[in-house]
């Protein structure tokens, strides 16, 4: 009966970690998955998370089911973190927030909503984008196409191309946008460019779908990293936002995030929320409680909240330090006139090196540096001690 099942290909991102585990070399370095490591290249559990867990244990919380929409205190906290507690849309109760299974599950729930209520409406995604976006939309049965985003010539944003493609899309399309720290390129629009994107969305009656997986992790400031979303909300645009606490609270395995839908009235918000719950019930019934309690505790306690911000800034700062060191090593070691400054301009966890598939293969086969085949490296998995080695590997792969 199962003989006809063929072998699925390895996941382009998580498959890298599997290959890394199989490699016995001392040189090996895993820059594939975007997970924060310490300077000793060890996984990191935030001190504030341990503190919240201790408090939770002492409170003796039970393990009863959560409601379908998740933990109320979490949903309130997450919408306020995203939009700002005093945002009029929160006061006017125009936001439908449902706890999701981290960023992926929240995107998936949003996609299921689109499939059901906007059948046939196309979602435009950036070229390139986080690989799972395509899987999520495909599995939800939502049609998509790409808009230009990355310009290989400048290793920067192809803003003209992006705007032209968004303008060209049929009116009322859905535009998937990375709220901050675009994955995989690390290149974000400037505030002026965001305004122009919002202009086109309004002209064309497009609806943005923001993916916010790095709030606070890009700049170190939760408010600055949410400014793209808040700009659109302030214009009265209806939109979706998927959130994730994998990176900024280091809660990767807890699967905690949310889907928020900002709509025109409290009545509409209530109805949209009821339909999100209806979609969630047969998929997974209700979400896990542990991560939701951690977030609610951290955000709800001013001291812990400040501690979180300090730890987040330290993580973002460590990544900026290795970014600078990698750039220094690349520009000293490379004797050609190649300009490596794009490494410094990119933000967030990643650097998009411009290495093609063959060059990325060389990085892994010869240098034991594990990375995705699109040339993306996770700087969160790099330390200062390995920057010189990595620069050698990149230069060798680039010119050979
Ligand atoms: N969106 C983007 C752009 C991401 O980079 C990630 C994490 N790699 C996610 C969403 C979601 O991750 P998770 O499901 O772990 O929250």
Q: Which of 33, 99, 130, 372 to mutate to test the pocket of ligand 1 (most atoms within 8 A of CB)?
A: 130
> From ligand 1's centre to the CA of 36, what distance in Å?
13
3-state secondary structure labels for all residues of 64-85? CCCCCCCCHHHHHHHHHHHHCC
- Distances from the Cα of 342 to the Cα of 95, 156, 186, 216, 224, angstroms: 38, 8, 10, 22, 22
Contacts of 137 (CB under 8 A, 6+ apart): 111, 123, 125, 143, 144
- Which atom belonging to ligand 1 lies closest to the Cα atom of 104? 14
User: Has 365 been annotated as catalytic?
Assistant: no
Atom 11 in ligand 1: residue holding the nearest Cα? 103
d(CA 394, CA 367): 9
Kindly report the protein residue whose alpha carbon is nearest to atom 16 of ligand 1: 103
As a whole number of angstroms, the distance between CA 196 and CA 189 comes to 10
* Nearest alpha carbon to residue 102 among 247, 209, 240: 247
Model confidence pLDDT, tens digit, residues 259-301: 999 999 999 999 999 999 999 999 999 999 999 999 999 998 9
Q: Ligand 1: distance of its center to the CA of 219 in Å?
A: 17
Residue 14 has pLDDT above 90, yes or no: no
Q: Whose CA is nearest to atom 8 of ligand 1?
A: 34
pLDDT of 358 reads 96
Q: Write phi, then psi, for 95 (nearest 5 degrees).
A: -120, 125
Residue with tokens 């209700």: 286
| Domain ranges in the chain with CATH number 3.90.1150.10 | 14-45+309-399
Question: Any catalytic annotation for residue 151?
Answer: no
Banded model confidence at residue 1, pLDDT cuts 50, 70, 90:
very high
**C-alpha distances out from residue 155 to 291, 345, 375, Å:** 37, 10, 12
Q: Which of 17, 132, 352 to mutate to test the pocket of ligand 1 (most atoms within 8 A of CB)?
A: 132
The ligand 1 site (C-beta within 6 Å) comprises 34, 102-104, 130, 178, 183, 211, 213, 244, 246, 252, 257
Q: What is the pTM of this model?
A: 0.96
Cα 35 to middle of ligand 1, angstroms: 10
Considering the candidates 51, 122, 247, 373, report the single residue annotated as catalytic: 247
Residues of the chain with CATH 3.40.640.10: 65-300
**Under 8 Å between Cβ of 163 and 197:** yes
Give residue 225's Cα distance to chain centre.
12
φ and ψ at 269, to 5 degrees?
Answer: -60, -45
168 assigned to active site: no
Contact 172, 206 (CB under 8 A): yes
Please say if the pLDDT value at position 188 is more than 90. yes
Query: Domain spanning 65-300: which CATH class is it, in words?
Result: alpha beta
Grade residue 143 by pLDDT with cuts at 50, 70 and 90: very high
| Contact call for residues 360 and 375 (beta carbons, < 8 A) | yes
> What would be the CATH architecture of the domain defined by 14-45+309-399?
Alpha-Beta Complex (3.90)
Mean pLDDT of 320-330: 96
């Amino acid at each position: 009966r199962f003989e006809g099942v063929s072998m699925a290909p390895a996941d382009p991102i998580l498959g890298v970690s599997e290959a890394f585990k199989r490699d016995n070399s001392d040189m090996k370095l895993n820059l594939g998955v975007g997970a924060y490591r310490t300077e000793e290249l060890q996984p990191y559990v935030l001190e504030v998370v341990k503190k919240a867990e201790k408090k939770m244990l002492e409170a003796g919380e039970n393990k009863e089911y959560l409601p379908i929409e998740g933990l109320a205190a979490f949903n309130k906290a997450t919408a306020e973190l995203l939009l700002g507690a005093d945002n009029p849309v929160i006061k006017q109760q125009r936001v439908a927030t449902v706890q999701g299974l981290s960023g992926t599950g929240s995107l998936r729930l949003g996609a299921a909503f689109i499939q059901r209520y906007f059948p046939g409406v196309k979602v435009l995604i950036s070229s390139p984008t986080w690989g799972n976006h395509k899987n999520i939309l495909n599995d939800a049965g939502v049609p998509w196409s790409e808009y230009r985003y990355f310009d290989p010539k400048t290793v920067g944003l192809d803003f003209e191309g992006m705007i032209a493609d968004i303008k060209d899309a049929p009116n009322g399309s859905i535009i998937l946008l990375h709220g901050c720290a675009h994955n995989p390129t690390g290149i974000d629009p400037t505030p002026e460019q965001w305004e122009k994107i919002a202009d086109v969305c309004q002209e064309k009656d497009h609806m943005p779908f923001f993916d916010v997986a790095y709030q606070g992790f890009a700049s170190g400031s939760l408010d600055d990293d949410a400014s793209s979303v808040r700009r659109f909300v302030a214009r009265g645009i209806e939109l979706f936002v998927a959130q994730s606490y994998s990176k900024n609270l280091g809660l990767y395995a807890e699967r905690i995030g949310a889907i928020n839908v900002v709509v025109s009235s409290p009545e509409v918000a209530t109805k949209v929320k009821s339909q999100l719950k209806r979609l969630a019930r047969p998929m997974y019934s209700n979400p896990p409680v542990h991560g939701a309690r951690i977030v609610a505790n951290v955000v709800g306690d001013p001291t812990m909240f400040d501690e979180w911000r300090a730890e987040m800034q330290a993580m973002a700062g460590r990544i900026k330090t290795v970014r600078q060191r990698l750039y220094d090593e690349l520009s000293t070691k490379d004797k050609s006139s190649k300009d490596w400054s794009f490494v410094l301009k990119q933000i967030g966890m990643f650097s998009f090196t411009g290495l093609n598939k063959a060059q990325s293969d060389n990085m892994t086969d010869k240098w034991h540096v594990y990375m995705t085949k699109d040339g993306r490296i996770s700087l969160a998995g790099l330390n200062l001690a390995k920057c010189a080695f990595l620069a050698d590997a990149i230069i060798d792969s680039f010119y050979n």
